[in-house]
Structure 1
Amino acid sequence: MKIWITLATLLTTSSVYAAEVVSLSDGRQVKLNDDFTWEYVLKKAEQKAVETTLEKVEAIEAAAVEASTTAVEAIAAPTMATIPVVNKKVGTTVVVNAKKPTMQLSDSGVDVLIGSARYQNGELILPTSITNQSSQSVIQVEVEVQVFDMSGKQLAKENVTVWQSIKRMADTYLRPQQAEQGKVIKLAVPQSQQYQFSAEVLEVKTR
């Protein structure tokens, strides 16, 4: 109550004591402002302590905001392990009349084996066989094949249906766990002992 009486007395004479610093009976100092307001006068040590406290509070708030932002980002974009995408196109060097198969292609549980190449009547001839490893019957298998000479010049590119059942005749479907001879691939290219060859399965139709 004393402080309010003292301040009231001082403020009534603010025209004389404006912006003056006065001491209270308990030793604290009060600054009287021109706009009829007042404020405690802090000593340098007290002011420094207040500033340090404010700085600490601001640092804690900034750290909390940053931690919250990081947590939200971590929830929004979780790390996910993925399996690399396999390139279905396979390339190799074909040696005419070699004793081993040229290559094997796989797609959707269907394996296409392209056999040993031979050259006859102006054509590179490659036999095929189809194995159905899937759980469904296969009615069509289409592959894309390309042939290049050894310098990389393209000689031929064709889409070949190596397996085709007869429409609406279930007996001609390639059943699961069955293997059959496929269509022979014939490509009109200049004769050579070796070629660069690539192939991929374009489509497998099942029923």
Structure 2
Amino acid sequence: MYKAISLLTILAASTVMADQTVTLNDGRQVILHDNFTWQYVAETPPDEAESLTSDKPQLVAIPLIDKKVASMIKLDSNHPSMQLSDSGVDLLLGAPSYVDGKLIIPTSITNQSLNSVILIEIEIEVSGIDKKALTKKSVTIWQSIKRMPETYLRPQQVKKGKDIELDVVKQDQYFISANITSLINR
């Protein structure tokens, strides 16, 4: 009798601890792992499915996001130019203006992460309408003072960042692309 109970216990435990494949309402499949994690099952094209000999479902990863953003901007516009995001920090490039031979783009930062931010650097490239590069520059948008926590950009804070100033020939429109190249938290 004890052998039968032990065998049933082992069989029940092995079914609980095994990975399970579940089909969602929209037809996608996911694997539920015994450590409470999950992954999508990769869909394979019919010609590839025939060549696969493994009984294990193929796993798929979430695709990487290209963090470089591009936009066409107009000098007479009152609309923000673009938004860059990285690790819970959002950087808004505001409406551009042209003053004393420089393209000026104001910035504001929203820290939606759980950590304080001490440095944000971006790389920005400005091109004409023909997409011929006019300038490319690295700009420090936010930098706190070392060992002065009151200068940190705290979680859930919104602050004005440093204006981006670029020496370019005046045009009505520019094509800009930018990405956050460095983000340091404390």
For normalisation by structure 2, the TM-score amounts to 0.70
Other-structure match for 2:105: 126
Q: 1:168-183 to 2 correspondence within 5 Å?
A: 168-183=147-162
Is 1:114 matched with 2:88? no
CA deviation after TM superposition for structure 1 residue 177, in Å: 0.3
Q: Tell me how far apart the structure 2 counterparts of residues 138 and 192 of structure 1 sit (CA, whole Å).
A: 35
Q: 2:167 aligns with which of 188, 196, 199?
A: 188
Q: 1:91 aligns with which of 43, 48, 70?
A: 70
Higher strand proportion (structure 1 or 2): 2
Other-structure match for 1:136: 115
Q: Tell me how far apart the structure 2 counterparts of residues 152 and 136 of structure 1 sit (CA, whole Å).
A: 37
Post-superposition CA distance 1:49-82 (Å, at most 9, x none): xxxxxxxxxxxxxxxxxxxx93xx344xx41122
The Cα RMSD (Å) is: 1.3
Q: Tell me how far apart the structure 1 counterparts of residues 100 and 139 of structure 2 sit (CA, whole Å).
A: 19
Other-structure match for 1:199: 178
Q: 1:12-27 to 2 correspondence within 5 Å?
A: none
Q: 1:81 aligns with which of 60, 63, 69?
A: 60
1:184 aligned partner, one-letter code: D
For normalisation by structure 1, the TM-score amounts to 0.63
Q: Tell me how far apart the structure 2 counterparts of residues 203 and 120 of structure 1 sit (CA, whole Å).
A: 28
Please state whether the residue corresponding to 2:78 is helix, strand or coil: coil
Q: How many residues align?
A: 135
Please state whether the residue corresponding to 1:129 is helix, strand or coil: strand
2:76 aligned partner, one-letter code: N
CA deviation after TM superposition for structure 1 residue 191, in Å: 0.5
Post-superposition CA distance 1:88-137 (Å, at most 9, x none): 01111010031110011000110000000000111100000111000000
Q: Tell me how far apart the structure 2 counterparts of residues 173 and 83 of structure 1 sit (CA, whole Å).
A: 32
Q: Tell me how far apart the structure 2 counterparts of residues 152 and 103 of structure 1 sit (CA, whole Å).
A: 17
CA deviation after TM superposition for structure 1 residue 152, in Å: 1.2
Post-superposition CA distance 1:21-69 (Å, at most 9, x none): xxxxxxxxxxxxxxxxxxxxxxxxxxxxxxxxxxxxxxxxxxxxxxxx9
- Runs of 4+ in structure 1 deviating by more than 4 angstroms, as ranges, are none
Unmatched segments (≥5 aa) in structure 1: 1-68
Q: 1:152 aligns with which of 114, 122, 131?
A: 131
Other-structure match for 2:8: none
Unmatched segments (≥5 aa) in structure 2: 1-51
